[in-house]
Amino acid sequence: MALTTSPDIHADDVRDFYEALSADYDLMTGFQDRFIRERPFLHMIVEKYHIQSALDAGCGTGFHSFLLTQLEVKVTAVDLSPGMITLLRRHARKLGLSVTPFVMRFDSFPKSLDGSFDAVFSLGNTLAHSSSPDELQESLLSFGKVLRPGGIVFLQNLNYDRILGDREKVQSVKEAGGKTFVRYYDYDEKGVVFNILTIEKTADGILQNHRTVRLLPLLRRDLVKALEAAGFIGIRIFGGISMNDYIEGSSKDLVVLAQRP
């Protein structure tokens, strides 16, 4: 599926999806457990590229922002969802960490953010919520404009080359806090619809909550072309944030590291 047409994604739909999900987001993603698991990989990147300041684009409730802050990086955190930013502020107070948060669209970065960053991190499949290839391109251009010369972007998305090739249905099933979260895909002529079904057993019976949002599935070739068009160089492809080898047919993730000239 080449990224040539818009799959009719709207920013309001993405915001509303994550607003509705925000209360369960940490439970579903295992907020606390991920610190030990992911810290070594981000530490390696921070050390290798001498990162002292970073922009977390699509920060959610702030997990990666806090992990970077613990690594002595000054972090600005941005998300489209006010509910996610509210939870980020709550986590920051609880953890005693300082992060600068904003509710903002990515195309607002150049005119709204002061200074230049050593790195832009956009993790958690954030860019797959772009409304169109044009919006993806605009986001990458914005990333480049707020990076210092020689700064890096580190992007983590799901591996849609594999997902579309296999027509994968169920992404994951997780039980936590008395709830079951089933993440799965539907496919139609416009592309991919991402679903989260939340099931909770209560004294009154079984409660179900079904949320959907349309995605722009980012294929490797298209993301590389978009980065090149935005002026990035030294583009490297990995199969996860551990920077392991990318294998199109089996890697869970598509992770890209690139540099502003």
Q: What is the pLDDT of residues 106-122, one digit of tens each?
A: 999 999 998 799 999 99
What pLDDT, on a 0 to 100 scale, did the predictor assign at position 32? 77
Burial class (CB in 10 A: 0-12, 13-18, 19+), 177: exposed
Kindly state the average pLDDT of the residues 28-51: 91
pLDDT of residue 4 exceeding 80: no
Size (the chain), residues: 261
pLDDT of residue 237 exceeding 70: yes
pLDDT of residue 248 exceeding 50: yes
Per-residue pLDDT of 125-136, as tens digits, reads 999 999 899 999
How many Å apart are CA 75 and CA 127, to the nearest integer?
A: 19
Of the chain, the percentage scoring pLDDT greater than 70 comes to 96
Amino acid at residue number 257: L
What is the overall mean pLDDT for the chain? 93
Q: For each of the domains in the chain, give its residue range(s) and CATH number, in order of start.
A: 11-163+216-259 (3.40.50.150), 167-213 (2.20.25.110)
Rg of the chain over Cα atoms, rounded to whole angstroms, equals: 18
Grade residue 157 by pLDDT with cuts at 50, 70 and 90: very high
What pLDDT, on a 0 to 100 scale, did the predictor assign at position 11? 66
pLDDT of residue 2 exceeding 70: no
pLDDT of residue 206 exceeding 60: yes
pTM recorded for the entire structure: 0.92
How many Å apart are CA 207 and CA 249, to the nearest integer?
A: 36
What pLDDT, on a 0 to 100 scale, did the predictor assign at position 33? 79
Nearest by Cα to 38 from 96, 123, 161, 101: 123
Helix, strand, coil share of the chain (percent; to 5)? 40, 35, 30
pLDDT of residue 74 exceeding 80: yes
